[in-house]
Structure formats: C-alpha cells, structure tokens
Structure 1
Amino acid sequence: MNAAPLAIALGDPAGIGPEVILGAWARLRAEGRLPPLFVVGGPQVLAAAAARARIDCPLVPIADPAEALFAIGAGLPVMAGLDAPYTPGAPQADGARLALASLTWATRFALSGVAVGLVTAPVAKSALAAIGFDYPGQTEFLADACGLPYRDAVMMLAGPSLKTVPLTVHVALAEVPALLSPDLITHKARIVAAALRRDFGIAEPRLGIAALNPHAGEGGQFGDEEARIIAPAIASLRAEGIDAIGPVPGDALFTPRARTGYDVALAMYHDQALIPIKTLDFDEGVNVTLGLPIIRTSPDHGTAFDIAGQGVADPGAMAAAIRMASAMAAARSGA
C-alpha cells in the first residue's frame, strides 16, 4: 500500500467522468486491487451520477486527504467544498469551474506530497477555454504547475498491448514536418527512456521510432525527413547508450511481431500514435504524463457527452489509470 492516497480530479461533471470514477472504484474493490484514493470535490455530482447510473458506491465525506487511507474501506472518499449541478450531456460554465478547481487542488496535493499522484478524469477543452483556461490541455497545465516547459511533459499512451508516444500532439497534420527536428526527437526520447526506468522498472528501455513518410521515404522519393531528421536523431540516441531502432515505416511498426522488439513506440504525429493504441486497447488505454516530478495518469478517452448519464460508460480505462498510477508510485518508492 502506498504511504499516501491518489488524488482523483473529477473532470467535467457533465461528461462520463463521474460515472467511470464510481465504476472504477466498484471494479477495483471487486478485484481486491483498490488502492487508497479520494476524489477532489463533487460530492453532489457523484451522488447524483451514482443514483442515475445505478452504481452501488457509498460516498464517504473527508476533510483531509490523509483520511482517505482509512475511509477507502467504507466507500469512495470525497472531499467536500467544491460542487456544481449534475447536468449529464449538457456542459455548463459551473461544471467547467468545478473541473478546473478539482484539477488545481489535486495537482497541489500531489506537488505537496499529501497525495502520491493524481488521476484526471476527462475535461472539455472548449468549456475550460470559455472560463479563461489558457492551456491546450491538462498536460500543459500540469507542466506549468510543476515549473517545467511544455516540451518536458511527454504524453504516453499505454495499454496491455502497446505503449506509444506522439512526438507532436494537437497540431494540424500539415504542420508536423516543420515541427520535427533531431532535437525534438532526442529530447523527448531521453525523457521517455528515463521514465520507463524510473516508473516502469524497465532497466534498458527499447525505443521503436516511426518514420514519417510511406515506406520510410523510399530512399527520398516520398520525402527526406527520415534521412535528414529522424535517422540522425536515432544515431545520437544510440551514441548515448539508448537502445533506439528505426525509422520504421508506420505500417510496419505496430504489427504483432514488430511490437516484441521495443518497449515503447515513438510516433511522429498524433494519429500515428493513437490509432494503434485505441484499436488494440481502447477500454484499457491510459494517458500517462512522463517527465514530471509528480505522477499523473488519465483514461485515454474523452468526456463522451453523448452517453453521459446513461449508465453505459465503460470504467475500464479509469480503473487501468488508477492501477497504473498506483504501480508507478510503488516503483518510485522502491516498494
């Protein structure tokens, strides 16, 4: 058992976040794998969501994160003081303010050490932007809260079958070639390798690095980024002692045989990384932020406003995110 509980940020209360938090608690308890945790705010939201989705999850009010270590046996510990109306499928400004307050406090708890890490439920970026949230997403918010530049917070998607990292994230596909550089690839690859050693117990991480163009450029016929940018970066990484292979054509990197040759795949753009992980591990995919001094995981899905409140949301990814955060905390503590 970790020495401190995990803090769970509620996410947008109009989405499926409340349901999957409740469902993950019930699933992990049934599995006998429930670590100490607590939800930051939203007791009324969670109570309404549990009743509507018919999830049997007693809520235990707490005033201090330390109480979660003892309250988790009786139900789901929830810190009071932050709340909003429960309006599933209909995002509201009050809900966005609750989501931001929950994220802010959960981050503070993790930074102060009273929480061993945080797990974030999905937010609606447009709803947060409407109330003045000036970050592309939660990852950038967390990097700033930790006093780090955005480039030091690396998004990894992890599931039972695959771990993958998009080197460029929320940008238009047309912008990707200009954003790629040997420095970008080597910088993020170093962060990934260090995190796999520290948080996942992989002593000698193997990195599979994707090509950008079809057939890895076909000797320059379909683009020269492989020869000009990606291959030099791989050579630099190997010179540093990092086991990196590539550039491997994107249509070959994710085959079953290829996946046995690396621990994580580094992809050049968003969909190149997310399509395979969501195809293979959609209901158990976890978004992990690497490179931070704190642990942060999240289910690899969005708010799903279209099904919120219907009791059909699968809590598997949230349960996986909680399990992974707890395992990462144990790895950091040497437990």
Structure 2
Amino acid sequence: MKKIAISIGDINGVGPQLALSQHETIKNLCEPIYCAHPQLLQNACELLGIVMPNDMVFVLPNAPVPPIRAGEICPESGRYSYKSFLQACTLADKGEVAGICTLPIHKKAWQLGGITAIGHTEVLANRYEKKAIMMLGCKEMFVALFSDHIALKNVNATIKFKPLCDFLIQFYQCVKMKKALVLGLNPHCGDGGLIGDEDTIIAQAIIEANKQLGGEIFIGPIPPDTAFSPQNRQEYRFFISMYHDVGLAPLKALYFYESINITLNIPILRTSVDHGVAFNIAYKTQPNPQSYLNAIDLAAQYGSVDEKNQTQYPKDKV
C-alpha cells in the first residue's frame, strides 16, 4: 500500500477534524503519514470530544505547536500549516511517500504569519521552478486554469501567445487526454474583436499547440457562458479556463462536494481538497469528507516513485 503524506492545513479550520474522522477510511486506501504533532491532534480530539486513533503515523513539522483557536485567523496557525506543507513536500522529494495530499489553508493566516506566497500552488511553482498547473474537478469533469490566483484586472495582460501555447502543450503532456475544450475570455469570444482581441490570441495558441502535438487536441475558444452546457459536458471531460472564477463557478455548482484540486507539471503528485477552512463550522459540526476522500483516493491510485527516488505525477488521464 502506498504512503501518502498529509499536510494538516490550518488547525483552526476543518483540516484536523477531517484527518481524525476519516483516518479509519483512508488507511484502507493508503498508508497515511500525517505532517503534524501528535499533541496537536490530541488537542483537536479534546475539543471535538472524540478519542484519537492509536495507529496514526506522524512526521513532525519544524514548528512549535500552536493553540487551537477554532474559526480564528491567526499568524501561528498560518505558519504551522505552511511548515506542515513543506514537511510533506520534503517527504515526497526524498521518495519516502508516493504523493502528498493537502488539507485547506487560510491565505490571510499565511500572510499574517510572514509567508509571502499566496498559497500551495505558488509555493510549488517556486520550489520546483516550473509552471504549476492548477486543475480541479472530479471523474465527471476537470477544469484547468491558465491564470489562477490573480486579480481579475490583471487577467487580460496574461493572455499572450507563447505562454498560452506552452501551457496547452504542458497540460497535454501531464494528462494525455484525447481532447479538451478551451474557453475564451471575453463575452461571445470578443465578437470578432468588437469586445477585445484576446480571444484571437487564444485561437492562435490553440492552432499552434495542436500543430506541435500533431492532432486536434484542443478545441475552441468557445464562449464561457455556453462552455459547460449539458451537451458539452457529455462530449468533453477536460476544460481550460483563462480565469479562476469563470472555470470554477460552474464546477463547484455542479460538483461542490466531489471536486478535488490537483497540481500538474511538477515532479511530485499533489492533490488537495477543493474547499476552504470552513471556519464557520470548524469544531462544531461534521464537515462533508467527500473531497478529502477523493483527493486521497486519487493520490493513492496514481502516486509513484521512480528509479531516481522521486515522486512522479503519472502521464495518463486521471
């Protein structure tokens, strides 16, 4: 059974509760390695009124154990979640685990804790000096994001021919899907330039990427307001959105509890829940565990270690 490192996320959110409540289930899918201190999980158990499983395996992050302040944004919890994440990455780099699964962080807590990166994806991109591709979804539908955590006002400037062409080719090399539908940027894909010319650049990048790949892999651009129609969702499983919310709003409307986050184009396999810290319910009610279970399941299925003792993302469809 494969070993999967689990970073605990923000301890004031639902991460510890998910780890504790689902341990009996996920240990049938993998050998979980929790990047956290046993005392921290014991503190969470006391708040939840539950007994901590006696067979959890821990690797300790290089950070002091902060107190749990349920539902609060704290620099201490931000720093701890960051160190937990780095510990999981280190285990993957050394080939000691087949992949990592990250529980949710709070980006503001990271900032307050002195972490300059916006989130997991940016850390991974910097750590491995690669364009980390953010893909979210479930077995029914996956959405990859050309731009991810940037302000809406900055999106237009990212639509450039070569970066987009490279992105499409790299995405294909990671997933090897038969075809994918590419969303445009402007309403009606610009109406022939009447509402912006970015969609012309997208179309040119699609043509060049398909040429280099030797097939009609990428289809589009198609107006975002019709991209996720029932007919298109029957025909396509993979979609590419130029902007975070345009692609993820329909995904989460359709598959909020099932969806997971996968980071592509880096030398380790990283999966994550596709939801936040849920401070409003943390340590109060049981969070829906389906995204976490799906993230663990995919990591356990596809995680592997190559002959160089490095964790590798499988180059086939998820």
TM-score by length of 1: 0.84
> Residue in 2 aligned with 1:287?
261
1:281-320 mapped onto 2 (5 Å cutoff): 281-320=255-294
**Distance (Å, rounded) in 2 between the aligned partners of 1:45 and 1:309:** 14
Give 1:278 deviation, angstroms.
0.7
After superposition, residues 1-335 of structure 1 pair within 5 angstroms as: 1-2=1-2, 5-28=3-26, 33-53=28-48, 58-60=53-55, 76-80=56-60, 83-146=65-128, 148-149=129-130, 152-197=131-176, 204-227=177-200, 229-240=201-212, 241-242=214-215, 243-329=217-303, 332=314
AA at the equivalent of 1:216: C
Per the TM alignment, residue 57 of structure 1 is displaced from its structure 2 partner at its CA by 5.2
Contact conserved, 1:154 with 1:291, CA < 8 A, in 2?
Answer: yes
Cα displacement string for residues 248-275 of structure 1 (whole angstroms, at most 9, x for unaligned residues):
1111111121023333111010111110
Distance in 1, matches of 2:206 and 2:314, equals 28
Alpha-carbon spacing, 1:171–1:205, altered in 2? closer, same or farther (3 Å): same
C-alpha RMSD of matched pairs (Å): 2.1
Q: Is the 8 A contact 1:6 1:115 kept in 2?
A: yes
Give the CA deviation at 1:121: 0.9
Provide the secondary structure at the position in 1 that maps to 2:148.
coil
CA contact (8 A) 1:196 1:205 kept: no
Cα deviations by residue, 1:290-313 (Å, 9 ceiling, x for unpaired)? 000001011011111121111331
Report deviation, 1:96: 2.2
Q: What SS does the aligned partner of 2:196 have?
A: coil
Distance in 2, matches of 1:333 and 1:302, equals: 28
Give me the whole-angstrom Cα distance separating, in 1, the residues matched to 2:77 and 2:97. 24
Residues in 1 aligned to 2:237 and 2:172: alpha-carbon distance in whole angstroms: 10
Contact 1:19–1:311 (CA under 8 A) maintained in structure 2: no
Distance 1:205 1:244 in 2: 9
Q: Check 1:26–1:311 CA distance in 2 against 1; reply closer, same or farther (3 A cut).
A: farther
Contact 2:138/2:260 (CA < 8 Å) preserved in 1? yes
5+ residue gaps, structure 1: 61-75, 198-203
Please give the secondary structure, in 1, of the residue aligned with 2:13.
coil
Counterparts of 1:44 and 1:195 in 2: how far apart (Å)?
39
Deviation at 1:208, TM superposition (A): 0.8
Q: Report the CA distance between 1:56 and its aligned residue.
A: 6.0
The alpha-carbon deviation at position 26 of structure 1 amounts to: 3.6
Structure holding more helix per residue = 1
Return 5+ residue gaps in structure 2 as ranges: 305-312
SS of residue matched to 2:173? helix
Alpha-carbon spacing, 1:318–1:57, altered in 2? closer, same or farther (3 Å): farther
1:104-126 Cα deviation digits (max 9, x unpaired): 11110001101111111111111
Task: Give secondary structure in 2 for the equivalent of 1:78.
Answer: strand
SS of corresponding position for 2:144: strand
> How far did residue 139 of structure 1 move?
1.1
Amino acid at match of 2:192: G
Relative to 1, partners in 2 of residues 1:295 and 1:265: Cα closer, same or farther, differing over 3 Å? same
Which string of whole-angstrom CA distances, capped at 9 and with x for unpartnered residues, describes residues 74-101 of structure 1? xx32235753222211233332222122
Aligned to 1:73: none
Amino acid at match of 1:296: R
- The separation in 2 between residues aligned to 1:184 and 1:105, in whole angstroms, is 31
Percent identity over the alignment is: 32
Q: Distance in 1 between matches of 2:193 and 2:34?
A: 52
State the shift of 1:282 in Å.
0.9
* Aligned mates of 2:235, 2:211 — CA distance in 1: 19
Q: Give 1:53 deviation, angstroms.
A: 3.5
| One-letter identity of the residue aligned with 2:188 | H
Aligned-partner residue type, residue 38 of structure 1: I
1:321 alignment partner, SS class: helix
Matches of 1:303 and 1:323, distance apart in 2 = 21
